Copies of this chain bind each other. A is one copy, B any other.
Amino acid sequence: MEMLESSGVLRDGKSLILAYDHGLEHGPSDFDPAPRSRDPSHVFELANHDAVTALAVQKGLAEKYGDTTDANLLVKLNGTSDLWSPDDYYSPQNCSVEYAVEELGADAVGYTMYAGSDHEARMFEDFRQVQEEAHRRGVPVVMWAYPRGNGIQENPEYSGDTDPEVISYAARIALELGADMAKVKYPGGRSEMKAVVQNAAETDVVMSGGSKSSEHEFLESVESVIEAGGSGLAVGRNVFQREQPCDILDHLGEVIHREKSASEVL
């Protein structure tokens, strides 16, 4: 938590991460609803919004646009394209911790973990090195904690990767493996989110924004994350795909940093 505060990813215990790695993970089509979002300059400027505590991007954008923003940089260390159709989920490391910190000036690093995939063991081993190298440098680690793959699909105990039990388990894995923050899917309700937060214990929890939804519905889910003891939100499409991305950032700031309700804000 100290590392998260000193990095700025957490500000007084709250976090609003603007995520912008969709060009790699989903492809350019994610920018079609708001074409200017294709230009990194636009999103790096958005990240200057006061409510944003960190901007999460891949190495290439950090390297070429990092100087154009005042936002804290959360360099995402692994990722794949959506062109790839592997036998089961795996996300290769595209950036070393050393490069992120020394060359890109990363304030924090992020790593996607697909527990439950046939490649879980390999990812655990990759994560070991990331976590240790980052902490030795005093840099916090955010785990994109997304269980998925054959281990989840073939297990009749779980309804899928949004099953609240799976999300609680994901948050616990983040704690056990030494992540400072877990980015998880929304488990569907306040009480489920509270369980997630309890299982994460000292590891902070933020909700993943997901695909674009109605503003009210979206803000309500963020509100319930805060009420459940979560630290906030990591959001991409629900901001940059909107016509007025600053407005939604204003509102998110109210809900996350000032703990207002969705109804108060809208």
| A61 touches B (CB below 8 Å) | yes
> Please, how many angstroms separate the alpha-carbon atoms of A107 and B90 in the complex?
34
| A5 touches B (CB below 8 Å) | no
CB proximity to B under 8 Å, residues A128-186: 128, 131-132, 135-136, 147, 150-152, 154-155, 165-166, 168-169, 172-179
A124 near B166 (CB under 8 angstroms)?
no
Q: Which residues of B contact A92 (CB under 8 A)?
A: 120-122, 124-125, 128
Interface residues on A, range: 35 or more
| A50 touches B (CB below 8 Å) | no
Q: Which residues of B contact A87 (CB under 8 A)?
A: 118
Closest to A174 in B: B60
Q: Which residues of B contact A127 (CB under 8 A)?
A: 94
> Please, how many angstroms separate the alpha-carbon atoms of A28 and B28 in the complex?
38
Q: Separation in Å of the A7 CB from the closest CB of chain B?
A: 16
B125 near A93 (CB under 8 angstroms)?
yes
| A12 touches B (CB below 8 Å) | no
| A208 touches B (CB below 8 Å) | no
Question: 4 more A-B contacts (CB under 8 A) besides A83-B152, A94-B177?
Answer: A28-B199, A80-B120, A94-B128, A95-B178
- Tell me the A residues contacting B by CB distance below 8 Å: 21, 23-24, 27-29, 31, 38-41, 58-61, 63-65, 79-87, 90-96, 99, 103, 115-118, 120-122, 124-125, 127-128, 131-132, 135-136, 147, 150-152, 154-155, 165-166, 168-169, 172-179, 195, 198-199, 201-203
